[in-house]
């Protein structure tokens, strides 16, 4: 996951994810099992779906099955891992944006409160007639 998120490209994060899954698929062609981690974790199959494996005439791996019997089409995960990973990242980015916004508003509130406190103390010291010895 971090390898896909860390690869910079001109297309931004979406281009990095696409490039990362393309590289994973090329590795899958050389050595089956490269996508297994993502297929288990995200409950997906191939980069774009089960058609990826059918196109290269490879059997659909067990990691693409919701249940043990992969011969039944209903047990296969239909959605591809790239789309599932994009959905996963979108949900995490929403959470990140909400938390980030709350922190920003909290810091603005703290700055305003600090300014009010400073102004109040400054005004009190100016109005005070007490002298310290």
Q: What is the CATH number of the domain that holds 50?
A: 1.10.1450.10
Number of domains in the chain: 1
Residue 75 in domain:
yes
Which pLDDT tens digits describe the chain residue by residue (133 residues)? 444 444 443 457 777 889 999 999 999 888 888 899 999 999 999 999 999 998 988 888 899 998 877 788 888 998 999 999 999 998 899 899 999 999 999 999 999 999 999 999 888 877 776 666 5
**Residue 19 resides in a domain:** yes
CA R_g for the chain: 27
d(CA 77, CA 67): 10
Q: Give the helix ranges, DSSP H, for the chain.
A: 2-6, 12-30, 36-42, 51-55, 81-127
- Identify whether 107 is part of a domain: no
The parent domain of residue 80 ranges over: 3-98
Separation CA 51–CA 70 (nearest Å): 14
Q: Quote the pTM value.
A: 0.65
């Amino acid at each position: 996951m971090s390898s896909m998120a860390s690869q910079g490209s001109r297309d931004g994060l979406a281009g990095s994810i696409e490039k990362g899954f393309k590289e994973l698929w090329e590795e899958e062609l050389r050595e089956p099992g490269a996508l297994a981690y993502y297929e288990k974790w995200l409950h997906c199959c191939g980069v774009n779906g089960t058609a990826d494996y059918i196109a290269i005439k490879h059997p659909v791996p067990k990691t693409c099955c919701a249940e043990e019997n992969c011969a039944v089409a209903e047990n296969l995960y239909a959605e591809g891992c790239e789309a599932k990973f994009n959905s996963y990242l979108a949900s995490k980015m929403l959470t990140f944006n909400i938390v980030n916004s709350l922190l920003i508003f909290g810091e603005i509130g703290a700055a305003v409160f600090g300014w009010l406190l400073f102004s109040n103390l400054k005004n009190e010291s100016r109005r005070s007639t007490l002298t310290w010895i």
